[in-house]
A = this chain, B = another copy of it.
Amino acid sequence: MEFSIIGYDPIGAWLKTADTMEELLPYRNTGGITWIQVKDVRDGNLLTPLIDCFGIHPLTVEDILDTQQRPKAEEFDTYLFITFKEARLRDEADAEPEVAQISLILTKDTVITFQQSSGISFDGIRRRILNNIGRTRRMGADYLAYLLMDTVVDTYFSALDTLGGRLEDFEDRALDENDAALIPDLQRIKQILLKIRRIIWPLRESLTTLLPPDSDLINPELEPFFKDLQDNVMQAVETVENYREILSGVMEVNLSALSNRMNKVMKVLTIISTIFIPLTFIVGVYGMNFAFMPELGYPYAYPIVWGVMILIVAGMLIFFKRRHWI
């Protein structure tokens, strides 16, 4: 587990890193804003100094340690607790989404973040604070919370973009009648969409509970930012739904392409059989060994039979053609 603390105010900013929480707590920026970052959360015991210092509720600690926690936001007496998940999807065709949980505690002047080891690094935000880029240093702890959440929500869009690219691939392949293995691949994409939706969907509700009229924790001045965040989450949800509809469209097209192709094959094969079976009968007739079969002795019988058979084939082909069977 890695602990670091960033203190900042409009005038300055500093960063300290340590292996235990005890060493860091004295560096809290009492006059300004403090951001405590806990990476690779595994052992609840190491969090004890933090828990005691901020009066964190035992259930919150449980939620922080449980990496299967459903995204949610909860208001406590002295702090606001939000837990959500990032989603990343590598560009390779078969990759599964990587999900990492981020928990965030927001008090009046402090933000504490808890991340899994595989999670996103918030290095960009750190740099902006330390180098005083943008307005972050001039704003409160709630603005920092907004920035962190916004960074995570952006991961959804890049994951969805990657997925959108795969979907387009499948859209092209769906009509290629030779590709029978598409259904399991499409089902896999569907599972990924389900997984991402389960991450994004509850976040939408959580954000609602952060904003008035449900809550008054966020500075009214920051409301447009959180509304914007909510808009983005909503847009991500809609993109997921949209992809699901496209996906089922692709499936339908693919199934109908496959069945079309099968039907064509069977039709051609059946037509070949249908043409030869009557001919086989005719040659069978003149293979009979009856003593009295006048045709057998007739000199032109053999070429006549050939002619008849060619006529039959031609007739059948014309008949099939007229009915648009071939």
Q: Which A residues form the contact surface with B (CB < 8 A)?
A: 57, 59, 62-63, 70, 72, 74, 76, 175, 178, 180, 183-184, 187, 190-191, 194, 198, 224-225, 227-228, 231, 234-235, 238, 242, 245-246, 249, 251-253, 255-258, 260, 262-263, 265-267, 269-274, 276-281, 283-293, 295-302, 305, 323-325
Contact = CB atoms under 8 A, between A and B. Distances in A.
Contacts of A323: 265
Contacts of A190: 249
B256 A255 contact: yes
Nearest to A295: B290
Protomer copies: 5
B269 A270 contact: yes
A236 B280 CA distance: 64
B293 A302 contact: yes
Given A231-B72, A252-B187, A290-B301, A324 B280 contact: no
Given A256-B183, A263-B262, A292 B283 contact: no
A241 B267 CA distance: 38
Contact of A281 (B183, B251, B276, B299): B276
A76 B10 CA distance: 26
Contact of A277 (B76, B258, B276, B298): B276
A174 B234 CA distance: 34
Contacts of A74: 224, 227
Nearest to A292: B299
Contacts of A76: 224
